[in-house]
Structure 1
Amino acid sequence: MTMTYAGTTALITGASSGLGSEFAERFAARQANLVLVARRADRLEELARKLRDAHGVSVTTLSKDLSVPGAGAEVHGDLTERGIRIDTLINNAGFGTRGPLVEEDPAVIASEISLNVASLVETTRVFLPEMLSGGKGALINVASTAAFQPLPGMAVYGATKAFVLSFTEALAHETKGSGLRVLALCPGATRTEFFDVLGSQAAAFGRMQSASEVIDTALQALDRRATPASVVSGWGNRILAGMAQRLPRQVSLAIAGRAVQD
């Protein structure tokens, strides 16, 4: 079954590049109207023009730094004033840092936690009532294979993604039977700007996937009769995630530490 989204509106955060822009392309192709949110207004407008021309959908852009507390509520208030109701929310915005915690910039890791965790929860909470009442869209939170074990050398990032996975799976259970499809998407290393921001390719263990392959995984999960609460993108990543959950905690911790810190 292929889900269509004609007549619905999808809000995508971190939409200016990478997984966010690929999500935008795919949902526009399925005839969803879009709200694209990111900091880079020029990139958003360029993408919006392309999608309007290619698919004939309505595309609204909002330049917003979602790491600022209250930004998610501001987005909701802005859209409510415009009469735009959200059916699908894709919380894709996020970034990672690498290095021993003692060497990391406190301001940067505070922003990382704010964007990856606090903003995702706030944005989900403010839009969830209207998505539940519609019952015809999806909530997709982008987690990571980093969620399945502690990640020495990327301790904050791994912990934020573990939160996203746990939070989303709990929401999937809470909203069971509502018609809203709730999914935690867990990609591994993906060819996006993530590693440019991270400043290193060292943490990119396993086969690097394309953004298109990751979104294929998400859409296939949404198209299933019963959408799973979480899905790992890539068979190799699924094997590694499964091993991390089954091995003794100290063993998976040591393996992850060597992979990231070497």
Structure 2
Amino acid sequence: MPVTYRSALITGASSGIGAAFARALPRATALLLTGRDRERLNALAQELGLNGRQVRTVIADLATAEGRQAVVGAAEIARIDLLINNAGVGRLGRVIDNPEPREAEMVQVNVAAPVELIRGLLPDMLRWARESNARCGIINVASAAAFAPMPTFATYAASKTFLLNYTEALAEEMSAEPVDILALCPGATETRFFERAGASFGSLGRPAMTVMHDAARVAAEGLRELGHARVHVVGPTNYLASLAMRLLPRRFVTAAAETTLQKWK
């Protein structure tokens, strides 16, 4: 039987996969939604707060230490038992061509934020789970890009590789504890991510081999696989690609990734 969580924190909840997670969770789960877009976040909270559902919001920038601490503090008050680290930022381009603040932002949001939130919240999540004879959960939204070095997407892909390895290691460390931990690895998804990352897919439009998944599908698969797997790659095409990236010679994979990503400019 699927676990019904009492209270969930979703980062990057104002749109895309984060908003899809919020909509996919059952009404019995109270929500703590965080993001930087106040207008979108408040609109989602108003939508989901109908029929008396408890929905709180925290407007915070996870690229800053102050923003991360504000989210941890709000989550402690909400006594969350499900943490969904969904917030992520990317920037397409060579490292030396990308703005320095944007390179740093990717590391802070994609790496520092999940680590700080998990370290700050997991001890209490475990304690409350033991007290109620229940289980808590963590979903870290990594990426299909986590399985290989990606020139022109170097920092983003590397940050997701960190998150993937971190999640798998954490799951093993916590294997005897009442917590389920999942690294969710979507590929290209119909969100605003690519627009924000500077991808235009060139004059010919989206590359023919690019498979776009719906954000609702990604969220549904993540919730379904939590407690059943430690890593889940969304979609058979992405799964096969992840296998190929692990088995083929590293130099070949890196060159192929660069060729593909050049079509996104």
Query: Same fold by TM (over 0.5)?
Result: yes
CA distance in 1, matches of 2:148, 2:75: 37
Q: Could you tell me how far apart the structure 2 residues matched to 1:14 and 1:131 are?
A: 21
8 Å contact from structure 2 (residues 89, 105) kept in 1: no
Q: CA separation in 2, counterparts of 1:121 and 1:16?
A: 21
Q: Structure 1 residues 67-76 or 205-214, which shifts more?
A: 67-76
Alignment match of 2:20 (pick from 19, 22, 29): 22
Q: In structure 2, give the amino acid aligned to 1:131.
A: M
Given the two structures, how large is their TM-score scaled by the length of structure 2? 0.91
- 2:82 counterpart residue number: 88
- 1:167-186 matched pairs, under 5 angstroms: 167-186=166-185
2:73 matches 1:77: yes
- Is 1:113–2:107 an aligned residue pair? yes
- Give the paired residue count: 253
CA RMSD of aligned residues (A): 1.6
Aligned to 1:252: 253
Q: Following TM superposition, by how much is the alpha carbon of 1:70 offset from its aligned partner in structure 2, in angstroms?
A: 4.0
Aligned partner (choices 200, 207, 210) of residue 206 of structure 1: 210
Is the contact between residue 4 and residue 30 of structure 1 (CA under 8 Å) also seen in structure 2?
no
Tell me if structure 1 keeps the 8 A contact 2:111–2:163: yes
Q: Is the 8 A contact 2:95 2:103 kept in 1?
A: no
* 3-state secondary structure, aligned to 1:181: strand
Checking the alignment, whether the CA contact within 8 Å between 1:18 and 1:192 is kept in structure 2 is: yes
Matches of residues 87-166 of structure 1 in structure 2 within 5 Å?
87-135=81-129, 136-166=135-165
> Could you tell me how far apart the structure 2 residues matched to 1:201 and 1:143 are?
22
Counterpart secondary structure, 1:102: coil
Shift of 1:118: 0.9
Task: Indicate the SS of the match to 1:178.
Answer: coil
**Percent identity for Structure 1 against Structure 2:** 40
Q: Secondary structure at the match of 2:58?
A: strand
- 1:2 match: 2
8 Å contact from structure 2 (residues 190, 215) kept in 1: yes
Q: Does 1:61 align with 2:41?
A: no
1:46 is aligned to 43
**1:153/1:72 CA distance change after superposition, 3 Å:** same
Q: Which residue of 1 aligns with 2:244?
A: 243
1:79 Cα offset (Å) = 4.4
Counterpart-to-counterpart distance in 1, 2:115 and 2:248: 30
What's the secondary structure of 1:184's corresponding residue? strand
Greater mean deviation of Cα atoms: 64-73 or 107-116: 64-73
CA contact (8 A) 1:206 1:237 kept: no
Q: Could you tell me how far apart the structure 2 residues matched to 1:61 and 1:190 are? A: 24
* Letter in structure 2 aligned against 1:189: A
Cα deviation code 1:59-83 (max 9, x no counterpart): 1101011110242222222444xx4
Q: Partners of 2:255 and 2:169 in 1: how far apart?
A: 28
When normalised by structure 1's length, the TM-score is 0.92
- In structure 2, the partner of 1:195 is 194
The answer to which of 63-72 and 202-211 deviates more is: 202-211
User: In the TM superposition, what is the alpha-carbon distance from 1:108 to its structure 2 partner?
Assistant: 1.1
Question: Which residue does 1:35 correspond to in 2?
Answer: 32
1:31-76 deviations in whole A, cap 9, x for unaligned? 210100001122111111111115x421110101111024222222
The AA in structure 1 aligned to 2:50 is D
5+ residue gaps, structure 1, are none
Per-residue deviation, 1:179 = 1.9
Distance 1:73 1:60 in 2: 16
In structure 1, the partner of 2:132 is: none
Query: In structure 1, what is the Cα distance between the partners aligned to 2:151 and 2:250?
Result: 13
AA at the equivalent of 1:239: L
- Equivalents in 1 of 2:9, 2:3: separation in Å? 17
Query: What amino acid is aligned across from residue 4 of structure 1 in structure 2?
Result: T
